[in-house]
Structure 1
Amino acid sequence: MAVGIALVALFVLFCLGTPVAFALFASSLAYFLVGADQPMVTLIQRLAGGLESISLLAIPFFIMAGVFMNHSGITERLLTLAELLTRRMHGGLAQANVLLSTFMGGLSGSNIADAAMNAKLLVPSMTAAGYPKAFSSAITASSSLITSTIPPGIALIVYGYVNNVSIGRLFLAGVVPGVLMAVAMMVLVSIQCRRLGYQKPRRERVSRHEWISVTRAGIIALLLPVVVIGGIRVGVFTPTEAGAMAVLYALIVGLFVYRQMGLGSVALATRESLMASVNVLFIIAVASGFARVLTWEQIPQQIALMLSSEVGSAVGFLLIANALLLILGMFLEGNAILIVLSPLLAPVAAQFGIDPVHFGIVFILNASIGTITPPLGTVMFTTCSITGVSIGAFIRAIVPYWLLLVALLLVVTFIPAISLTLPSWVF
């Protein structure tokens, strides 16, 4: 009875447009008020307990590293490098948009942060170059999903923490799918720009001095993922300590290499990092409390029993899981899906012999695609609010990229080697 009322309250609050974190908290509170067998203090304990993990310290660290990178001028240098590499392609700025998201995947750690940054940085330039705003917004939103799998993506850390999966292995497992997404998107962008006549290739030669200066500045930024992954693999530091090292690296680059940061900008970047971290961690706390409610009511065990008895193979389970996650991703925020649903589905995946690292990448890709899917996609709303594009125009422009991402999801789902080869080789 109590859990039924909690689930109905959650659904009603979602329909009313209540922010995900408050909807989860209110439904959990309703569970205790209606007549649960647990004392009310247990809810507070579970909310606090949801954040009592050293692994979660990596989240504010990597968020801070990404914000410091933006304030240090690294983003502009990466954009210059991306434009230099794509100037001879059809749709150079659109290609640079995808490439910049790939570069920033290891720096920002968040697809929402990446979409917001590129929407401010690139969409005005693309509009001036003759691209329709809806087209530019669709590319910005869809390419930001690359960030979810390129290490050190926040989703990789959250999934590893919730399901007790090696974060280092998840970092490596996301590299090949992320690069595959980037290549596929760049091919689609090229086809569309050729067909629609957007921004023809530039043929003028680039001086050797410009190549060297731009590449050298960009490589300094791109060394961060190498430092993070290399340090974890060699055993110099844990994923959490890697986050602290990423902050230190970003600070040194901003203060002493590029010299674009001062004490004022450090304070501003720290404040931005604090607000972004609180937003993510609050969702994790309330989603952990709601997940505990489901656990008390044996919901995970019932779902696992139902799926294992009704589904006869790993292929069938993966198809059902993909369909379920794509649908729920239209309504729920990505981190909430990770914390509430992954503990329900990961044990079932293990029963079918599916590697937990592989299933983690499949789960994260599903949750990411949901962020650009109506009616409640968070990346969709973030991008449209910044660029001023209507939701209807955005949806029409995003359809080819959504179909491409779903196709890539199926490829990654049913060819486990794409995500497992690199971590198996390195570890």
Structure 2
Amino acid sequence: MSSGTIIGFSCIALLILLFLKVPVYGAILGSTIIYFVLQPDVTIYLIIQRMIAGIESIPLLAVPFFIAAGVFMNYTGVTKRIMDFCTVLTCKLPGGLAQVNVLLSTMMGGLSGSSLADAAMEAKMLEPEMERHGYSKPFSSAVTAFSSIITPLIPPGIAAILYGSIANLSIGKLFIAGIGPGLLLCTSMMLLCGIISKKRGYQAYGQARMDRKELGTKFRHAILPLCLPVIIIGGIRLGICTPTEAGSIAVVYSIILGVLYRELGWGELKKGLRESVLTTASVLIIVSAASAFSWILTREQIPQKLTALMTTYIGGKYAFLVIVNVFLLFVGMFIEGNAALIVLVPLLHPMAVAFGVDPIQFALIFNFNMAIGAVTPPMGTLMFTVCGITKCKMKDFIVAGLPFYALALGCLALLTFVPVFTLGIVNLVF
């Protein structure tokens, strides 16, 4: 049996297992085992070696650190303080609670880096409050889910760490590059929420006039947590620490905040550590399984063959980017973002470089596509998470989310064809 046929069987098995709702790591590992069983030139024991090698990476050490920092932030009352600050900032805007939802996701992106954690937290805290103030359940759920796709873009995003470790790119540059797309999506989503709220009569939240004294009080309460992204990016840019060391600083900083706010006792510390371990394990087991599958693709020279094929039949980099965007949007509908990242980056990154696409820009385009996939049926993880908590019907969520899908695609087009949104701040800082 030829290598091409064996690869074909493995890929078909991967798709079948995913459609059967086998856990992502099980689907990837199962398709990898099929290759090793059918391929006579390699020993099956190599799977374990490749899985271990896939997570023996210094940059990946940042993943558990930033996950732990985000978890401890939720246990120390930081989320409530930042939400109060966002509420004061948006008190005069139409659809005030929807605006709070979007702004909170943006600010929490610099603390947790996890879109699922952000979506679950806001679905529990904000969505019931939105319904009590007259917002429809589908609209509240859609705002909560779509605003959470900002979280992995704002540094320190877990996706940026994984992408940088796989493609051998500067994680510091990827962190800074995420600021532009994050702010673009935040601003445009707040404008869209304002337009929809005006049409539906959703009123501003709180007083009609901003109280400067209250703003100052809420800002003082939120200033210490909001300093964390500045400390991380500043430390990396000034060469004081690596991204991994910045992650450990974030953990210590979050614990210090918990002690200062007197909300992090031994019970909360144990719960936070347990949640961090479980979340880290769920991420890294996918990373290890996907690393073994990526090794197969590299061994069979699939990236090189695809690059040669694409450069032969595609005229330029923008045609390539359009094709890749359509492909990634489709993939994101069925495969979890981190798993797709680990499998596809070794394939697509060399092709993007061959077409003259800036690697940092392509990384942001890739991660943005995966973020959109997380709210897209039939298997969008953010969509299922939010609807599971709010009890919103899936069809109602999709209908309410149509304007947000259009907005996300518009922002994706800007990132693709206007590089300043991804590279402007990076070029300014570096």
TM bucket normalised to smaller: over 0.9
SS class of match (1:339): helix
Residue 201 of structure 1, CA deviation: 5.5
In the other structure, the counterpart of 1:136 is 140
CA distance in structure 2 between the partners assigned to 1:291 and 1:208 by the alignment: 54
CA distance in structure 1 between the partners assigned to 2:259 and 2:387 by the alignment: 34
Higher mean C-alpha deviation, range 293-302 or range 405-414: 293-302
Residue 210 of structure 1, CA deviation: 2.2
Contact 1:135 1:394 in 2 (8 A): yes
Letter in 2 for 1:175: I
SS class of match (1:402): helix
Higher mean C-alpha deviation, range 4-13 or range 177-186: 4-13
Residue 121 of structure 1, CA deviation: 1.1
Q: Alpha-carbon deviations, 1:277-329, whole Å to 9, x = none?
A: 11111111111111111222222122111111111101111111111101111
Matched, 1:288 2:291: yes
In the other structure, the counterpart of 1:185 is 189
CA distance in structure 2 between the partners assigned to 1:138 and 1:203 by the alignment: 25
Matched, 1:236 2:240: yes
Q: Give the superposed CA RMSD.
A: 1.1
In the other structure, the counterpart of 2:85 is 81
Letter in 2 for 1:119: A
CA distance in structure 2 between the partners assigned to 1:108 and 1:203 by the alignment: 30
Q: 1:262 aligns with which of 262, 265, 268?
A: 265
Matched, 1:319 2:326: no
In the other structure, the counterpart of 1:25 is 29
Higher mean C-alpha deviation, range 50-59 or range 28-37: 28-37
Residue 24 of structure 1, CA deviation: 0.4
The sequence identity of aligned pairs, in percent, is: 48
In the other structure, the counterpart of 2:222 is 218
In the other structure, the counterpart of 1:90 is 94
Runs of 4+ in 1 over 6 A off after TM superposition: none
Contact 1:2 1:32 in 2 (8 A): no
Q: Alpha-carbon deviations, 1:226-285, whole Å to 9, x = none?
A: 0000000111100000000000110101112x1111111111111111111111111111
CA distance in structure 2 between the partners assigned to 1:338 and 1:27 by the alignment: 17
SS class of match (2:264): coil
In the other structure, the counterpart of 1:252 is 256
CA distance in structure 2 between the partners assigned to 1:213 and 1:110 by the alignment: 28
Residue 207 of structure 1, CA deviation: 4.5
CA distance in structure 2 between the partners assigned to 1:207 and 1:148 by the alignment: 32
Letter in 2 for 1:378: T
Matched, 1:117 2:121: yes
Letter in 2 for 1:394: F
Higher mean C-alpha deviation, range 31-40 or range 327-336: 31-40
In the other structure, the counterpart of 1:50 is 54
Contact 1:2 1:36 in 2 (8 A): no
Residue 398 of structure 1, CA deviation: 1.1
Letter in 2 for 1:150: I
Residue 22 of structure 1, CA deviation: 0.9
Letter in 1 for 2:26: F
SS class of match (2:110): helix
Letter in 1 for 2:69: A
In the other structure, the counterpart of 1:279 is 282
In structure 2, relative to structure 1, the CA distance for the partners of 1:206 and 1:403 (3 Å cut) is closer
Matched, 1:405 2:408: yes
CA distance in structure 2 between the partners assigned to 1:196 and 1:222 by the alignment: 33
CA distance in structure 2 between the partners assigned to 1:318 and 1:205 by the alignment: 46
CA distance in structure 2 between the partners assigned to 1:353 and 1:300 by the alignment: 16
Q: Alpha-carbon deviations, 1:374-426, whole Å to 9, x = none?
A: 11111111111111111111111111101100110010111111111211121
Residue 34 of structure 1, CA deviation: 2.3
Q: 2:346 aligns with which of 343, 346, 352?
A: 343
CA distance in structure 2 between the partners assigned to 1:276 and 1:141 by the alignment: 20
Higher mean C-alpha deviation, range 415-424 or range 94-103: 415-424
Residue 206 of structure 1, CA deviation: 5.2
Higher mean C-alpha deviation, range 36-45 or range 200-209: 200-209
Letter in 1 for 2:133: A
In the other structure, the counterpart of 2:17 is 13
CA distance in structure 1 between the partners assigned to 2:398 and 2:408 by the alignment: 14
CA distance in structure 2 between the partners assigned to 1:204 and 1:347 by the alignment: 53
Residue 131 of structure 1, CA deviation: 1.0
Residue 203 of structure 1, CA deviation: 4.1
Q: How many residues align?
A: 426
Q: Which structure 1 segments of 5+ residues have no match?
A: none
SS class of match (1:148): coil
CA distance in structure 2 between the partners assigned to 1:139 and 1:379 by the alignment: 11
Q: Which structure 2 segments of 5+ residues have no match?
A: none
Higher mean C-alpha deviation, range 127-136 or range 242-251: 127-136
In the other structure, the counterpart of 1:369 is 372
Matched, 1:306 2:306: no
CA distance in structure 2 between the partners assigned to 1:344 and 1:5 by the alignment: 18
Q: What is the TM-score when the length of structure 1 is the normalising length?
A: 0.98
Residue 205 of structure 1, CA deviation: 4.4
Q: What is the TM-score when the length of structure 2 is the normalising length?
A: 0.97
CA distance in structure 2 between the partners assigned to 1:211 and 1:136 by the alignment: 25
